[in-house]
Amino acid sequence: DAGVIQSPRHEVTEMGQEVTLRCKPISGHDYLFWYRQTMMRGLELLIYFNNNVPIDDSGMPEDRFSAKMPNASFSTLKIQPSEPRDSAVYFCASRGVYTGELFFGEGSRLTVL
Amino acid sequence: AQSVTQLDSQVPVFEEAPVELRCNYSSSVSVYLFWYVQYPNQGLQLLLKYLSGSTLVESINGFEAEFNKSQTSFHLRKPSVHISDTAEYFCAVSEYDNAGNMLTFGGGTRLMVKP
Protein backbone atom coordinates (compact mmCIF):
# COMPACT_ATOMS: atom_id res chain seq x y z
CA ASP A 1 0.00 0.00 0.00
CA ALA A 2 1.20 3.52 -0.80
CA GLY A 3 0.28 4.87 2.61
CA VAL A 4 -1.78 7.97 3.28
CA ILE A 5 -1.57 10.30 0.31
CA GLN A 6 -2.06 14.04 0.63
CA SER A 7 -2.15 16.77 -1.98
CA PRO A 8 -0.93 19.33 -2.60
CA ARG A 9 2.35 19.08 -0.68
CA HIS A 10 2.76 22.83 -0.80
CA GLU A 11 0.22 25.56 -1.37
CA VAL A 12 0.83 29.29 -1.43
CA THR A 13 -2.23 31.47 -1.76
CA GLU A 14 -3.43 34.95 -1.01
CA MET A 15 -5.72 35.96 1.79
CA GLY A 16 -9.36 35.50 0.88
CA GLN A 17 -8.81 32.65 -1.55
CA GLU A 18 -10.38 29.23 -1.16
CA VAL A 19 -8.03 26.38 -0.30
CA THR A 20 -8.83 22.68 -0.69
CA LEU A 21 -6.59 20.01 0.77
CA ARG A 22 -7.06 16.39 -0.22
CA CYS A 23 -6.42 13.06 1.44
CA LYS A 24 -6.55 9.43 0.38
CA PRO A 25 -6.43 7.13 3.43
CA ILE A 26 -5.00 3.64 3.48
CA SER A 27 -7.42 1.18 1.93
CA GLY A 28 -9.47 -0.60 4.58
CA HIS A 29 -8.95 2.01 7.28
CA ASP A 30 -12.24 3.23 8.71
CA TYR A 31 -10.99 6.17 10.76
CA LEU A 32 -9.65 9.35 9.17
CA PHE A 33 -8.21 12.32 11.04
CA TRP A 34 -7.23 15.86 10.05
CA TYR A 35 -4.56 17.58 12.14
CA ARG A 36 -2.95 21.00 11.95
CA GLN A 37 0.61 21.64 13.09
CA THR A 38 2.09 25.05 13.90
CA MET A 39 5.05 26.19 15.94
CA MET A 40 2.81 28.07 18.34
CA ARG A 41 0.08 25.48 18.93
CA GLY A 42 1.82 22.21 18.10
CA LEU A 43 -0.34 19.37 16.76
CA GLU A 44 -4.09 20.00 16.90
CA LEU A 45 -6.84 17.57 15.98
CA LEU A 46 -9.33 19.37 13.75
CA ILE A 47 -11.88 16.66 12.93
CA TYR A 48 -12.17 12.93 12.56
CA PHE A 49 -14.41 10.56 10.62
CA ASN A 50 -15.49 6.99 11.26
CA ASN A 51 -16.88 5.10 8.28
CA ASN A 52 -17.10 8.40 6.36
CA VAL A 53 -19.22 10.05 9.06
CA PRO A 54 -17.84 13.10 10.94
CA ILE A 55 -17.70 12.15 14.62
CA ASP A 56 -16.04 15.11 16.31
CA ASP A 57 -15.38 18.47 14.67
CA SER A 58 -14.87 20.41 17.88
CA GLY A 59 -11.30 21.20 16.84
CA MET A 60 -12.31 23.02 13.67
CA PRO A 61 -11.28 26.61 14.36
CA GLU A 62 -14.28 28.38 12.85
CA ASP A 63 -16.91 28.28 10.13
CA ARG A 64 -14.34 29.06 7.46
CA PHE A 65 -13.15 25.46 7.83
CA SER A 66 -15.12 22.50 6.51
CA ALA A 67 -14.29 18.85 5.89
CA LYS A 68 -16.00 16.13 3.93
CA MET A 69 -15.53 12.45 3.31
CA PRO A 70 -17.77 11.49 0.38
CA ASN A 71 -16.42 7.93 0.28
CA ALA A 72 -14.01 5.61 2.07
CA SER A 73 -11.07 6.59 -0.12
CA PHE A 74 -11.22 10.37 -0.18
CA SER A 75 -11.50 13.33 2.13
CA THR A 76 -11.15 17.08 1.72
CA LEU A 77 -10.45 19.93 4.09
CA LYS A 78 -11.57 23.29 2.78
CA ILE A 79 -10.78 26.78 4.02
CA GLN A 80 -12.90 29.59 2.64
CA PRO A 81 -11.89 32.38 2.85
CA SER A 82 -8.30 31.73 3.90
CA GLU A 83 -6.39 34.02 6.26
CA PRO A 84 -2.67 34.38 7.06
CA ARG A 85 -3.20 32.76 10.49
CA ASP A 86 -4.27 29.57 8.70
CA SER A 87 -0.68 29.08 7.55
CA ALA A 88 0.38 25.68 8.90
CA VAL A 89 1.11 22.11 7.93
CA TYR A 90 -2.08 20.08 7.64
CA PHE A 91 -1.82 16.34 8.20
CA CYS A 92 -4.23 13.60 7.35
CA ALA A 93 -3.99 10.29 9.21
CA SER A 94 -5.91 7.04 9.11
CA ARG A 95 -6.21 3.83 11.09
CA GLY A 96 -8.18 0.63 10.97
CA VAL A 97 -8.68 -2.03 13.60
CA TYR A 98 -7.21 -0.61 16.75
CA THR A 99 -3.53 -1.34 17.18
CA GLY A 100 -2.71 2.09 18.47
CA GLU A 101 -1.01 3.19 15.29
CA LEU A 102 -2.05 6.19 13.29
CA PHE A 103 -0.63 6.37 9.79
CA PHE A 104 0.16 9.92 8.75
CA GLY A 105 0.50 11.45 5.33
CA GLU A 106 3.45 13.70 4.55
CA GLY A 107 1.37 16.81 5.09
CA SER A 108 0.26 19.82 3.09
CA ARG A 109 2.20 22.98 3.89
CA LEU A 110 -0.13 25.96 3.49
CA THR A 111 1.11 29.53 3.29
CA VAL A 112 -1.48 32.29 3.15
CA LEU A 113 -0.03 35.67 2.20
CA ALA B 1 -9.84 13.69 30.36
CA GLN B 2 -6.38 12.57 29.35
CA SER B 3 -3.41 14.89 28.94
CA VAL B 4 0.27 14.54 28.07
CA THR B 5 3.19 16.69 29.17
CA GLN B 6 6.58 16.60 27.54
CA LEU B 7 8.77 18.53 29.89
CA ASP B 8 11.51 19.46 27.44
CA SER B 9 10.79 21.31 24.21
CA GLN B 10 14.37 20.86 22.99
CA VAL B 11 17.13 18.44 23.93
CA PRO B 12 20.59 19.04 22.48
CA VAL B 13 23.00 16.12 22.80
CA PHE B 14 26.31 15.05 21.29
CA GLU B 15 26.52 12.03 19.02
CA GLU B 16 27.04 8.71 20.85
CA ALA B 17 25.82 10.20 24.14
CA PRO B 18 22.78 8.78 25.94
CA VAL B 19 19.49 10.63 25.90
CA GLU B 20 16.20 10.60 27.78
CA LEU B 21 13.07 12.37 26.56
CA ARG B 22 10.54 12.77 29.32
CA CYS B 23 6.81 12.18 29.09
CA ASN B 24 4.19 12.30 31.82
CA TYR B 25 0.50 11.72 31.36
CA SER B 26 -2.68 12.29 33.30
CA SER B 27 -5.68 9.98 33.14
CA SER B 28 -8.33 8.61 35.46
CA VAL B 29 -8.38 5.23 33.73
CA SER B 30 -5.91 2.77 32.25
CA VAL B 31 -4.09 3.94 29.16
CA TYR B 32 -2.21 2.96 26.05
CA LEU B 33 1.03 4.90 25.47
CA PHE B 34 2.97 5.76 22.32
CA TRP B 35 6.00 7.56 21.00
CA TYR B 36 5.88 8.98 17.49
CA VAL B 37 8.82 10.48 15.59
CA GLN B 38 8.67 13.23 12.98
CA TYR B 39 11.67 13.74 10.70
CA PRO B 40 12.01 17.09 8.89
CA ASN B 41 9.31 17.70 6.29
CA GLN B 42 7.60 14.41 6.99
CA GLY B 43 4.54 13.18 8.83
CA LEU B 44 4.60 11.43 12.19
CA GLN B 45 5.41 7.73 12.34
CA LEU B 46 5.07 5.30 15.21
CA LEU B 47 8.31 4.61 17.06
CA LEU B 48 7.03 2.29 19.80
CA LYS B 49 3.94 1.59 21.87
CA TYR B 50 2.77 0.10 25.14
CA LEU B 51 -0.60 -1.65 25.05
CA SER B 52 -0.17 -4.34 27.70
CA GLY B 53 2.32 -6.86 29.05
CA SER B 54 5.96 -5.96 29.64
CA THR B 55 6.35 -2.38 30.76
CA LEU B 56 9.59 -2.03 28.81
CA VAL B 57 9.11 -1.67 25.08
CA GLU B 58 11.73 -1.29 22.39
CA SER B 59 11.97 0.05 18.85
CA ILE B 60 13.96 -1.42 16.00
CA ASN B 61 16.46 1.45 16.02
CA GLY B 62 17.59 1.21 19.63
CA PHE B 63 15.08 3.37 21.48
CA GLU B 64 13.23 2.03 24.49
CA ALA B 65 10.54 3.35 26.81
CA GLU B 66 9.29 2.13 30.15
CA PHE B 67 5.74 2.48 31.39
CA ASN B 68 5.75 3.52 35.04
CA LYS B 69 2.19 3.51 36.34
CA SER B 70 2.99 4.92 39.77
CA GLN B 71 4.89 7.83 38.25
CA THR B 72 2.45 8.14 35.31
CA SER B 73 5.46 8.35 33.02
CA PHE B 74 6.61 6.86 29.72
CA HIS B 75 10.11 8.25 29.20
CA LEU B 76 11.99 7.49 26.01
CA ARG B 77 15.68 6.53 26.17
CA LYS B 78 18.53 5.63 23.90
CA PRO B 79 21.99 4.69 25.20
CA SER B 80 23.87 6.13 22.21
CA VAL B 81 22.33 8.54 19.71
CA HIS B 82 23.23 9.07 16.07
CA ILE B 83 23.02 12.18 13.91
CA SER B 84 20.13 10.50 12.08
CA ASP B 85 18.07 10.51 15.30
CA THR B 86 17.66 14.28 14.96
CA ALA B 87 13.89 14.74 14.80
CA GLU B 88 10.88 15.78 16.83
CA TYR B 89 9.45 13.18 19.18
CA PHE B 90 5.85 13.12 20.33
CA CYS B 91 4.46 11.19 23.27
CA ALA B 92 0.78 10.24 23.00
CA VAL B 93 -1.85 8.54 25.16
CA SER B 94 -5.26 7.02 24.63
CA GLU B 95 -7.63 5.74 27.29
CA TYR B 96 -9.04 2.18 27.46
CA ASP B 97 -12.61 3.40 27.69
CA ASN B 98 -12.34 5.98 24.93
CA ALA B 99 -14.76 4.75 22.30
CA GLY B 100 -12.74 6.18 19.48
CA ASN B 101 -9.44 5.36 21.14
CA MET B 102 -8.47 8.93 20.45
CA LEU B 103 -4.84 9.86 20.81
CA THR B 104 -3.84 12.92 22.78
CA PHE B 105 -0.39 14.18 21.79
CA GLY B 106 2.14 16.02 23.89
CA GLY B 107 3.75 19.22 22.67
CA GLY B 108 6.78 17.43 21.24
CA THR B 109 10.49 17.39 22.06
CA ARG B 110 13.01 18.39 19.44
CA LEU B 111 16.08 16.16 19.70
CA MET B 112 19.14 17.80 18.21
CA VAL B 113 22.15 15.52 17.85
CA LYS B 114 25.42 17.33 17.34
CA PRO B 115 28.63 15.83 15.92
DSSP for chain A, written as a single string: ----EEE-SEEEE-TT--EEEEEEPPTT--EEEEEEEETTTEEEEEEEEETTEEEE-TT--STTEEEEEEETTEEEEEESS--GGG-EEEEEEEE-SSSS--EE---EEEEE-
- Contact pairs from chain A to chain B, CB under 8 Å: 46
Q: Which residues pair with A100 in a beta bridge?
A: none
Query: Which residue on chain A is closest to B92 by alpha carbon?
Result: A100
Interface contact A42-B41, CB threshold 8 A: no
What are the helix and strand counts (H, E) for chain A? 0, 11
Average pLDDT in chain A: 93
- Give the count of beta carbons closer than 10 Å to the beta carbon of residue B31: 25
* Mutation site for B-interface testing, chosen from A102, A108, A109 by largest number of B Cβ within 10 Å: A102
Between CA B29 and CA B23 the distance in angstroms is 17
Q: Could B44 and A102 be called an inter-chain contact, meaning their C-beta atoms sit closer than 8 Å?
A: yes
Classified as helix, coil or strand, B15 is coil
A14-18, A53-57, A64-68, B93-97: range with lowest mean pLDDT: B93-97
What average pLDDT score do residues A37-60 get?
92
Q: What is the pLDDT of residues B4-55, one digit of tens each?
A: 999 999 999 999 999 999 999 998 888 889 999 999 889 999 999 998 888 8
Q: What is the pLDDT of residue B113?
A: 97
Residue to substitute from B101, B104, B109, B110, interface A, most A β-carbons within 10 A: B101
A58: CB partners within 8 A, 6+ apart: none
pLDDT band at B96 (very low <50, low <70, confident <90, very high): low
Q: Which residues of B touch A48 (CB under 8 A)?
A: 100, 102
What residues contact A32, with CB distance under 8 A and at least 6 apart?
Answer: A23, A25, A48, A49, A69, A75, A92, A93, A94
CA separation (Å) from B16 to A59, B84, B110?
41, 11, 17
Which of A55, A99, A106 lies nearest to residue B100, judging by beta carbons? A55
User: Residue B33 carries which DSSP code?
Assistant: E
3-state secondary structure of A104: strand
Q: How far apart are CA B62 and CA A31, in angstroms?
A: 30
- The answer to whether B47 touches B89, Cβ cutoff 8 Å, is yes
pLDDT of residue B62: 94
